[in-house]
């Protein structure tokens, strides 16, 4: 388990004990993180599990993948750290990760 902190658009925070080997999105849903909708269940085709990765963590979580690009573009989310949480696999390297949820997943 690794600690991951989610910060909502309103500034409220929730830290979860995330399970390694599954996606950040799956962990968020399992822990009741508001702001992660995940309509497609983690298949990277709805864009409703977007998070904004804090600058210090972007190298660890990696760049936007080809699979993510169309959904992020369609969302209109231009934040420099935007990622689909369904495409970030939780590993021990993410201990202490901080992400923000956008104001809306529409």
CA 74, CA 4: separation in Å to the nearest integer? 27
At residue 11, does pLDDT exceed 90?
yes
**Which domains are assigned to the chain?**
2-100 (3.10.20.30)
pLDDT of 104 reads 92
pLDDT of 83 reads 98
**Average pLDDT taken over every residue of the chain:** 96
At residue 106, does pLDDT exceed 90?
no
Find the DSSP H helices in 9-106. 24-30, 58-61, 69-75
CA 91, CA 98: separation in Å to the nearest integer? 14
Q: What is the DSSP letter of 46?
A: S
Length of the chain: 106
The pLDDT tens digits of the residues spanning 61-94 come to: 999 999 999 999 999 999 999 999 999 999 999 9
The mean pLDDT value for 23-42 works out to 96
């Amino acid at each position: 388990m690794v600690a991951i902190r989610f910060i909502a658009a309103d500034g409220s925070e929730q830290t979860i004990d995330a399970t390694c080997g599954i996606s950040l999105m799956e962990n968020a849903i399992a822990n009741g993180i508001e702001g992660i909708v995940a309509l497609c269940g983690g298949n990277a085709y709805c864009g409703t599990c977007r998070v904004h990765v804090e600058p210090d963590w972007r190298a660890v979580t990696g760049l936007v993948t080809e699979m993510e690009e169309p959904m992020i573009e369609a969302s209109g989310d231009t934040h420099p750290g935007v990622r689909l949480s369904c495409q970030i696999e939780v590993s021990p390297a993410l201990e202490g990760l901080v992400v923000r949820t956008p104001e809306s997943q529409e």
